Amino acid sequence: MRITGGRLRGRILHTVPGLTTRPTTDKVRQSIFNVLMHDIDGARVLDIFAGSGALGIDALSRGAVSAVFVEAGKKQVEAIKKNLKSVDLDMPVLAVDYREAGRLLAEKEKKFDLIFADPPYEEITPRMVAEIVFRYNL
């Protein structure tokens, strides 16, 4: 898996092997960023269920000014940190459940311009994520 655009384009991203994760493919990320291209520059990004951090890192590569990564899985958190280090980015990684992350971010009065949420299949619904985003005014 690689960063699909911007100044870090082509850099390799590490993922957690096995069937427990399903990273957003390069092709899907490229399509997402094609749609969002005019909204990325200067954006503050939240990447929930970050997995490898690919969505947030791709956004940073394309001009986002900051990103916060939220991931509860220990191996996934390690992958995000490894990926950030490999591209010389220093961004916060919250190793907590998305609900706890919402509370923590609200306490710090964090606000975001773009929120990416790619939750595990059938475990978390879009409505559940939206409830946290709106409850904490992220």
CA distance 88 to 47: 18
Q: Are 93 and 84 in contact (CB under 8 A)?
A: yes
50 part of a folded domain: yes
1 part of a folded domain: no
82 part of a folded domain: yes
53 part of a folded domain: yes
Cβ partners under 8 Å of residue 124, min gap 6: 49, 98
pLDDT in tens, 100-136: 999 999 999 999 999 999 887 677 888 899 999 999 9
101 part of a folded domain: yes
pLDDT in tens, 32-85: 999 999 999 999 999 999 999 999 999 999 999 999 999 999 999 999 999 999
| Owning domain of residue 27 | 6-135
pLDDT in tens, 7-27: 999 999 999 887 667 778 889
User: Which CATH number is 29's domain given?
Assistant: 3.40.50.150
Q: Supply the pLDDT for residue 121.
A: 67
Q: Supply the pLDDT for residue 84.
A: 98
CA distances in angstroms from 118 to 6, 86, 87, 108, listed in the order given: 21, 23, 22, 23
Total domain count, the chain: 1
12 part of a folded domain: yes
Both tokens of residue 32? 């997402």
Q: How far is CA 40 from the centre of its chain?
A: 13
29 part of a folded domain: yes
Q: Taking the complete model, does pTM exceed 0.85, yes or no? A: yes
Question: 3-state secondary structure string, 70-93?
Answer: ECCCHHHHHHHHHHHHHCCCCCCE
Q: Supply the pLDDT for residue 20.
A: 67
CA distance 138 to 115: 9
42 part of a folded domain: yes
